[in-house]
Amino acid sequence: DTEVTQTPKHLVMGMTNKKSLKCEQHMGHRAMYWYKQKAKKPPELMFVYSYEKLSINESVPSRFSPECPNSSLLNLHLHALQPEDSALYLCASSQGGRRRTDTQYFGPGTRLTVL
């Protein structure tokens, strides 16, 4: 099973709301990632977790707050977002460890609209 699941599929929120995106994998992977993809653009890396510890934060605004409660779950908490944060949020996972050749498996994404 090489599936990464993401919920919800779609999310509409106001600028004052607090919401969370969820990502789950059961492949035993120890690295998990959040990417943001604007329309007709490539994905851009936001965060990397390695063995449940945040290892890369690509200067993402604090209104995005990642959390990795265990090795299978990755959350992205959203608060006070701006309309320009509307995008497809992709989660990915890979085996982990010091292997730059690992394949990243992507979930289908959550399409977020901020009103």
Partner 1 sequence: AQSVTQLGSHVSVSEGALVLLRCNYSSSVPPYLFWYVQYPNQGLQLLLKYTSAATLVKGINGFEAEFKKSETSFHLTKPSAHMSDAAEYFCAVTLGSGGGADGLTFGKGTHLIIQP
* Cβ-based nearer residue to partner 1, 17 or 95: 95
Task: Please tell me what DSSP assigns to residue 104.
Answer: P
- Smallest distance from partner 1 to CB 90, Å: 6
Residue 3 and residue 106 in contact, taking contact as beta carbons nearer than 8 Å: no
- Smallest distance from partner 1 to CB 7, Å: 13
User: 105-106 and 18-25 as β-strands: parallel, antiparallel, unpaired?
Assistant: unpaired
Q: 114: which 2 tokens? A: 């901020």
Q: Which residues bind partner 1 (CB under 8 A)?
A: 4, 30-31, 33, 40-45, 48-51, 55-56, 58, 90, 92, 94, 96-98, 100-109, 111
